[in-house]
Amino acid sequence: MNNYTREDILRMVEEEDVGFIRLQFTDIFGTMKNIAITTSQLDKALNNEIMFDGSAIEGFARVEESDMYLHPDLNTFEIFPWRPQQGKVARLICDVYKPDGTPYESDPRYILKKVMAEAKEMGYEFNVGPELEFFLFHTDDDGLPTTLSHESAGYFDLGPLDLGENARRDMVLTLEDMGFEIESSHHEAAPAQHEIDFRYDEALTTADNIMTFKLVVKTIAKRHGLHATFMPKPKFGINGSGMHLNMSVSRDGINVFQDAKDEYGLSKEAYCFIGGIMKHMKALTFITNPSINSYKRLIPGYEAPVYIAWSAKNRTPLIRIPGSRGEYTRVELRNPDPSANPYLALAVCLAAGLDGIKQGLMPPKAVNRNVYEMTDEERKIFGIEKLPGSLREAAIEFQKDTFIQEILGEDLSKNTSKQRTASIMSIESRSQTGNLKNICTYCNTILHLTEMRKRVSDRRWQSDRDYCCIPE
């Protein structure tokens, strides 16, 4: 982690000939936003004097209380390696503040910092290593994205089968230029699907890295004439993209999840952390899987979890304990997807885990069988429940869990629920006409087949007939 001072920032900007600085922040939906300034305004930015209209950001402030300020986190200063080398472009990730100098309560970064502060009071540091999957699709003659790929590669294939090999390599090199420690990269299960894994870090740094990672992947893909999408399920009939979260808790630099004397090498804190996650899992899904499209991924047959169980020996349950032990002992949560706001996803996972530790919640027995091959009766005997099967079900579970709502805060909980409920109701109201037969997996719009064909050219049209627009 960097430890920059104001003087460090000013010196690097001058020495590196930085001409442009992007002040980045994240909205409640996990979309990166920014205000760009020249170096002439840098002093003002470092004095926390850059203001923006919060009412222009959906889910942020109302018009009558719209003034908001960006407070740069100096440790996030980075120069974009792909931008011009004269008059370089740099970024600073910012926290959102109100005019009275207090943090904006619905700023996702603030919410994560708040839960991390609670963990610190308990003597804990929360570490997370994400596994983000994404697709690389071709663009059309106008440079617009499609859902087409000419490759047929699968797990761990290489060129010439893996047509995204060169783009993925450039992504890795760019990320390393920006300070990432890349552990591995490979082709994933589905054609055109890829994964790049970077080293775990404390939660706030990891969430910042996830946002930066998405920007880099999309930018480099575009330079290769490709379109990168983190959409959970961009194509019917093949695997979707997940964002597995490998989580651990340390005290004084020592991983407290490890216990060499235990059958599974897990400490009581680890078991209780799992117990807390499982207790709140249905509500967590509303945050970790935030779109209607998310639930197109969470179905049997495509390696995505469906059942709430844990195991140290197989990959079918929701929670897995990877084979590494000692300082690398961790809990892998497998249902989150890359469309989630990383700050909110990590915040609610940590809060749920801490709740488990505080209450001494022990999870059910480990399930070391293939959960998908068990009968309904067998799953009932083991007490295995299903994840919510739709965004509507997840929203209902979220409304039941006041603990998770309190973590997000009243305003953010209301705004998030309002936005997602509106999307659900829009679809359901249209479907009642009886004539609307197709739901777009991206924008969730239901359309007549003829209307869809008007909106999308035949060459972009997929055999699953599941699109009316192109994923971002």
- Which residues are known to be catalytic? 53, 131, 133, 188, 195, 244, 315, 332, 334
From CA 147, how far away is CA 193, in angstroms rounded?
12
From CA 211, how far away is CA 231, in angstroms rounded?
14
Give me the amino acid identity at 441: T
**For the packed helices 391-400 and 410-431, what is the interaxial angle rounded to 10 degrees?**
150
DSSP string, 194-222: EEEEE--EEHHHHHHHHHHHHHHHHHHHH
| CA-closest candidate to residue 264, choices 194, 219, 313, 195 | 313
Question: Which residues partner with 118 through β-bridges?
Answer: none
Give me the amino acid identity at 378: E
Beta strand extents in 101-218 (DSSP E only):
125-138, 182-187, 193-198, 201-202
**For the packed helices 203-223 and 165-177, what is the interaxial angle rounded to 10 degrees?**
130
Gap between the terminal Cα atoms of the chain: 30
Dihedral sign of CA atoms 291, 296, 298, 302 in order = negative
State the burial class of residue 410 (Cβ atoms within 10 Å of its Cβ: 0-12, 13-18, 19+). Answer: exposed
Q: How far is CA 279 from CA 272, 354, 372, in A?
A: 10, 12, 21
Query: 318, 387 in Cβ contact below 8 A?
Result: yes
